[in-house]
Amino acid sequence: MAKQSAPKVCDVTFIGAGPTGLFGAFYGGLRELTCKVIEALPQPGGQLITLYPEKLIFDVPGFPSIKAKELVAKLYEQAQHWNPSMALDEQALTLKRETIGKRRDKEECWVIGTDKGEHFSRSVIISAGIGAFRPIKLDNESVRRFERRGVDYMVSDYEDYAGKRVLIVGGGDSAVDWALGLLPVAEHVTLIHRREGFRAHDSSVEALQASDVDVQIFHELREVTGKAGVEKAVIFDNRSGEERELDIEALILALGFKANLGPIREWGVETIGRRYLKVDSHMETNLPGVFAAGDVALQEDQDPLNLIVVGFGQVTVAVNYAYAQVKPGGKVFPGHSSEKAARAERSK
């Protein structure tokens, strides 16, 4: 009978391949740690690639502006420099502590159970963004009837709407950004919002007001009609009840998303509220060797700062403290990146 080999244990596993997880995988490689990334979606990028790939991002150092999907491509390319293992389209379901191996090879590690198998890691960094998310939908049967037939909840590619008459419902960043982004390619863009104030960034709202987007405030959607796909929408003024019928070929509902921690909530990690994992100044949770970084992480008595650049800083802290735990005698401070990169390249 063949001797069963011990499972391969990596130094650090990232749960989530959004910008925080991707940069963490790069930085972990820079610190000469073996890294793995587990992502429930079939592609890396998290919210950036799923919710607003065409959105311009202005607050990432080194890029005056960059599309979300282009930033993801750059981060993925950067991470691949150290060849981390990528387990895509695989949802992390359980986390437990186990001793594996026998005699001299015995070691204690974290076992991450997924819908496809098990992964073994000396440390874990949860970089799951806002967790599992799903779009907020209208309680409207006519809208549900046309889902995937002209009704969308996110914009993946502006060119899909080329030459079309588009109606967007919403008043947040996504609604305003998509309206502005679609304007050059669509035949006509109408944006309706149920009240006067927008929740988008001030600069975006100013750009919207100066644009040719047909903006209708105090308006809501009543009904969608059509045959094979969306053809008309009935909107109404919520002050007077007056109705208007619009000829449209696409309806985008940008009403936000509901997020929750999903299976992570069952892992024994202490939480703050419904969606944050509690961390200390090292970005470590109450579970030794389990860290969190990015939108999912929050220190007590601090307000959330859900910015990409904050996630980069947090995951860098987490990786350095994970290094000190994983490598006996390892120092938290890494030294200069040029020195680390040169040594890591020699060891490849």
Superfamily of domain 137-255 in the CATH hierarchy: FAD/NAD(P)-binding domain (3.50.50.60)
What's the pTM? 0.76
318: pLDDT confidence band, cut at 50, 70 and 90?
Answer: very high
Within this chain, domains 9-132+258-347 and 137-255 share the same CATH topology: yes
Q: 157 with 48: CB under 8 angstroms?
A: no
CA distances from 322 to 53, 98, 224, 293, 310 (A): 31, 18, 53, 12, 18
Which of these, 283, 340, 320, 284, lies nearest to 11 by C-alpha position?
320
Residue 276 pairs in a beta bridge with: 272
Q: 322 with 110: CB under 8 angstroms?
A: no
Exposed, middle or buried by CB within 10 Å (0-12, 13-18, 19+), for 148?
exposed
Q: Which two tokens stand for residue 18?
A: 């959004």
pLDDT in tens, 99-122: 988 777 789 999 999 999 999 999
Q: Which two tokens stand for residue 124?
A: 């874990």
Domain boundaries defined on the chain: 9-132+258-347, 137-255
Sign of CA dihedral 255, 60, 182, 148: negative
Give dist(CA 93, CA 113) in Å, integer. Answer: 6
Which CATH number is associated with domain 9-132+258-347? 3.50.50.60
pLDDT in tens, 159-196: 999 999 999 999 998 899 899 999 999 999 999 999 99
Q: 190 with 250: CB under 8 angstroms?
A: no
Side chain identity at 347, as an amino acid letter?
Answer: S
